[in-house]
Amino acid sequence: MDEITVTILLLGDEKVGKTTFLSRISGGSGSLDGSTPITILRDIDQPFIFELRNRRYKYRLEFHDTSSPENWQLLRPDLVLICYDISQRWSLVNMQRVWIKEVHSTFANDTLPVIVVGLKRDLRSEADPNGIIYPQEGYKVSQEMRADKYIECSAVTGELLKLAFEEICQTAAQTAEEIGGQSEGGCTVS
């Protein structure tokens, strides 16, 4: 069985939940429902490796979190996840003003798939009408950024985590195919 390595880079502000997200999915499919305790990964253990199989291939997904690599710009990712904290409007703004520009200026690759990941879904609060970011707004911003997909989840509670991880894995696998991992018609919601 052929093994295909896919490099996945997580970008986003500090404390948006990238490490907790990776820590939760590192527990395997049994931990995606949020019922098991999270063991936080250490930055020095990067890349975080996940292995998947389908009928034809074995995939080695190498996740790199920007919390640690000093020279993340030297990576040549096959897929970029731009992450933001659903409960913090500033992280959504920085995603638009900083991170998508970093992707375009650093990688200058029109075929590089980009997924926007809204993290900390469990912290979305109706109590703060100015700070709340509804899924429709996250999706709209993702469209404006010309991202390929928009997904939301909570690593703490497991809400939508399995679906989010499946979408990431599906896109990662597609990057190794001739058609690539980009969506055909723009941003899709998962």
Q: What is the CATH number of the domain that holds 50?
A: 3.40.50.300
Structural domains in the chain (count) = 1
Report residue 180: phi and psi, to 5°. 80, 180
pLDDT band with cut points at 50, 70 and 90 for residue 182: low
Distances in Å between the Cα of 4 and the Cα atoms of 62, 69, 148, 156, 179 are 11, 23, 22, 30, 16
Token pair recorded at residue 189: 């919601």
* Full residue range of the structural domain in which residue 172 is found: 2-189
> For residue range 53-84, what is the model confidence (pLDDT) as tens digits?
878 889 999 998 876 556 777 788 999 999 99
pTM over 0.85: yes
Mean per-residue pLDDT of the chain: 84
What was the pLDDT predicted at 7?
92
